[in-house]
C-alpha cells in the first residue's frame, strides 16, 4: 500500500516489482492525473515546449504492466498504525502488510493570497496549467522567493517575454543552496537576461484591486507592481493526515536509517526525514533524484533486506541555457574553490570543502565533468 | 535486450553512465546521454536496468 502516486510512490512500486515482490500493490494518490514528473513543470511545460502528456512518468502500457491498483483523486485522511490501515477522503479503508508514505509537499502561501486572482504557486500540473494560461500574454511578473523554484520560474517567465522581478529574503538568489560566490553568479546571469532583482528583502503583503493582485509590498516600503505574482517561498511536508497516528512528525515523517517510521511503515521522497548514518543526522531532501533512490531502498527493506539509506544527495537546476548540478551536502561555512574551468567562460566546477575534505561539488554547464568529480571525491 | 533513449528529455545527470559505463556515455559539451550499445550482452542487463531505474528523467526504455 503506497500513499502518494508521484515520483517516490511510483518508483517504490516499480522497485518492488523489480525485486520480485509479487503480492498486490495499491497506490493511492490525491491528484486525479496519472503520475507525472514535477521538474519539467517549471521549465519545459510552463514554456509551452511540452504538453501535459510529455510530463507523464510512464505511459499507460507500463503502468498496466506494473500490476498495481491505482486509486487516483482520493487523498488519504488518516492512518491507523497498529492495524496498518489507511482511510481516504472518499471513505475507502485500505489495509496492508506494509505501508509507504510518499505524500510529498504542499507549497507555502502568503497569508493574504487566498482567492486573489493573478497569484500562483507551483506544485501540481493543475497549478502549472493555470500559471501557463496567466503568462500567455506576457504580463508583468513578480516572483516572491529566490530559492531553486523561484529562480527557475523567473527564468522561464523571462523566456516567455514577461517583464520579471525576482524578490526574496536571501541576499542573492539560491545563496542557501550554493553559498555567496556561486549565488553572485546566479544573480549576474539573471541580471544579464533582464530579470530585475530585489534580493535580501521580505515581502509584507500583496496589494489587490477588484479581487485581482496589483503588486507586492516590500518590507523597506517599496511597492513592486505586478499583473501576475508567483509565490515560491518553500513547501511543507504533507503530514497533516497523519496527525494523531502516533508517528513522529517533525518537519516530515521521522524515520530510522532504514526509512522506517514504525513497524511495517516506511516513508520515501520529499516527505521523509530519515537518519542518515553517514551524516549522523536526520535529513530530508526535496529533490527528484532522492524520490527514486529512497524508493528503491524502501522497496528493498520491504522485501526483507536491511539497507540503511546513505545517498550522496544530487540536484540540478536549469535556468535560461545554464545547467547547475550539485552533488553532496554543502554548508554555509564551506570554503568554495573553482577547480576547473572559469566562471568568466560560464563553464566551471567548484569544490566545497570543510575540515580539508570535499563535502560537495558543483558544476556550472559542465555535466559530464561534474559526474567524474563526484565519482572521484564523494564516493 | 534493446534500449531506447529519449535525448530530448535527458537532464544530463549522468546516473546512467555511473550505473552502466559500457552502455551509456555523455556528450562532452552538454552532458546529454549517448547510447554506446543499443543491444548490450546479457551480462550487462542488470546494470542497464539499474540505469533505467535511477534516471531522474526516465529517458531510458528497455525492450526485453
pLDDT band at A332; cut points 50, 70, 90 = confident
Q: How far apart are CA A70 and CA A377, in angstroms?
A: 41
Q: How far apart are CA A143 and CA A17, in angstroms?
A: 42
Model pLDDT for residues A114-135, shown as the tens digit of each residue: 899 999 999 999 999 999 999 9
Chain A / chain B CB contacts < 8 angstroms: 56
A11 lies within 8 A of chain B by CB: yes
A323 lies within 8 A of chain B by CB: yes
Please check whether residue B64 lies inside any domain of the structure.
no
Q: What pLDDT, on a 0 to 100 scale, did the predictor assign at position B54?
A: 94
- Asked if B53 lies within 8 A of A292 by C-beta distance, the reply is yes
CB A227, CB A140: distance < 8 Å: yes
pLDDT band at A333; cut points 50, 70, 90 = confident
Q: Fold identical between A109-233 and A321-378?
A: no
pLDDT band at A9; cut points 50, 70, 90 = very high
Please check whether residue B14 lies inside any domain of the structure.
yes
Using only the alpha carbons of chain A, give its radius of gyration.
21
Q: Could you tell me the CATH number of the domain that includes residue B43?
A: 3.30.70.20
CATH topology of domain A321-378: Enolase-like; domain 1 (3.30.390)
With contacts defined as CB-CB under 8 Å, which chain A residues touch B12? 316, 323, 325, 367-368
Residues A290-297 have a mean pLDDT of: 98
* CB interface of A with B, residues 255-294, below 8 Å: 288-289, 292-293
Question: Grid coordinates standing for A262?
Answer: 514504525
User: How far apart are the CA of A8 and the nearest CA of chain B, in angstroms?
Assistant: 11
Number of domains in chain B: 1
User: How far apart are the CA of A90 and the nearest CA of chain B, in angstroms?
Assistant: 32
Please check whether residue B46 lies inside any domain of the structure.
yes
User: How far apart are the CA of A45 and the nearest CA of chain B, in angstroms?
Assistant: 12
Its domain, for residue B11, covers 2-59
Say which CATH class A2-106+236-302 falls into: alpha beta
Q: How far apart are CA B49 and CA B37, in angstroms?
A: 14
* CB interface of A with B, residues 45-104, below 8 Å: 54, 57-58
pLDDT band at A330; cut points 50, 70, 90 = confident
Distance of CA A109 to the CA centre of its chain: 16
Q: ipTM score here? A: 0.94
What are the angstrom distances between the C-alpha of A284 and each of A106, A210, A224, A279, A317? 15, 41, 34, 12, 18
Q: Where are the domains of chain A?
A: 2-106+236-302, 109-233, 321-378
With contacts defined as CB-CB under 8 Å, which chain A residues touch B49? 18
Residues B7-26 have a mean pLDDT of: 96
CATH code assigned to A109-233: 3.50.50.60
Q: What average pLDDT is seen over chain A?
A: 97
User: How far apart are the CA of B21 and the nearest CA of chain A, in angstroms?
Assistant: 12
Alpha helices in chain A (DSSP H): 7-18, 44-47, 60-66, 125-134, 148-159, 175-192, 288-302, 367-378
Model pLDDT for residues A71-96, shown as the tens digit of each residue: 999 999 999 999 999 999 999 999 99
pLDDT band at A103; cut points 50, 70, 90 = very high
Please check whether residue B21 lies inside any domain of the structure.
yes
Amino acid at each position: 500500500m503506497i500513499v502518494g502516486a508521484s515520483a517516490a510512490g511510483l518508483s517504490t512500486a516499480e522497485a518492488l516489482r523489480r525485486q520480485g515482490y509479487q503480492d498486490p500493490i495499491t497506490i493511492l494518490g490525491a491528484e486525479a492525473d496519472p503520475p507525472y514528473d514535477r521538474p519539467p513543470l517549471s521549465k519545459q511545460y510552463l514554456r509551452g515546449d511540452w504538453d501535459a502528456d510529455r510530463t507523464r512518468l510512464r505511459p499507460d502500457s507500463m503502468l498496466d504492466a506494473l500490476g498495481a491498483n491505482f486509486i487516483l483523486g482520493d487523498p488519504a485522511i488518516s492512518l491507523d498504525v497498529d492495524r496498518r490501515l489507511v482511510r481516504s477522503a472518499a471513505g475507502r479503508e485500505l489495509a496492508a502488510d506494509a505501508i509507504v508514505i510518499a505524500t510529498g509537499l504542499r507549497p507555502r502561501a502568503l497569508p493574504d493570497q487566498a482567492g486573489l486572482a493573478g497569484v500562483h504557486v507551483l506544485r501540481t500540473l493543475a497549478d502549472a496549467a493555470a500559471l501557463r494560461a496567466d503568462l500567455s500574454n506576457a504580463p508583468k511578473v513578480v516572483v516572491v522567493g529566490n530559492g531553486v523554484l523561484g529562480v527557475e520560474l523567473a527564468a522561464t517567465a523571462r523566456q516567455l517575454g514577461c517583464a520579471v522581478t525576482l524578490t526574496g529574503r536571501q541576499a542573492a538568489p539560491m545563496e542557501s543552496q550554493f553559498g555567496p560566490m556561486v549565488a553572485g553568479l546566479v544573480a549576474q546571469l539573471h541580471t544579464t537576461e533582464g530579470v530585475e532583482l530585489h534580493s535580501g528583502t521580505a515581502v509584507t503583503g500583496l496589494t489587490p484591486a477588484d479581487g485581482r493582485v496589483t503588486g507586492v509590498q516590500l518590507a523597506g516600503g517599496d511597492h513592486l507592481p505586478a499583473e501576475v505574482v508567483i509565490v515560491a517561498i518553500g513547501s511543507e511536508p504533507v503530514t497533516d493526515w497523519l496527525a494523531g497516528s502516533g508517528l513522529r512528525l517533525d518537519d516530515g515523517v521521522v524515520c530510522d536509517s532504514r526509512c522506517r517510521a514504525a513497524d511495517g511503515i516506511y516513508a520515501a521522497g520529499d516527505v521523509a526525514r530519515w537518519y542518515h548514518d553517514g551524516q549522523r543526522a536526520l535529513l530530508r531532501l526535496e529533490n527528484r533524484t532522492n524520490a527514486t533512490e529512497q524508493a528503491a531502498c524502501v522497496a528493498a527493506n520491504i522485501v526483507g533486506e536491511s539497507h540503511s539509506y546513505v545517498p550522496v544527495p544530487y540536484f540540478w537546476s536549469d535556468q535560461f541555457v545554464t545547467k547547475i548540478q550539485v552533488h553532496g551536502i554543502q554548508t554555509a561555512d564551506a570554503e568554495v574553490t573553482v577547480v576547473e574551468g572559469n566562471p568568466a567562460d560560464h563553464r566551471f566546477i567548484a569544490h566545497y570543502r570543510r575540515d580539508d575534505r570535499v563535502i560537495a561539488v558543483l558544476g556550472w554547464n559542465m555535466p559530464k565533468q561534474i559526474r567524474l568529480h563526484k565519482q572521484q571525491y564523494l564516493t | 535486450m534493446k534500449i531506447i533513449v529519449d535525448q530530448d528529455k535527458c537532464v544530463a545527470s549522468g546516473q546512467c553512465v555511473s550505473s552502466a559505463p559500457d552502455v551509456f556515455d555523455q556528450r562532452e559539451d552538454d552532458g546529454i546521454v549517448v547510447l554506446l550499445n543499443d543491444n548490450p550482452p546479457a551480462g550487462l542487463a542488470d546494470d542497464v536496468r539499474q540505469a533505467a531505474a535511477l534516471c531522474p528523467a526516465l529517458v531510458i526504455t528497455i525492450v526485453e
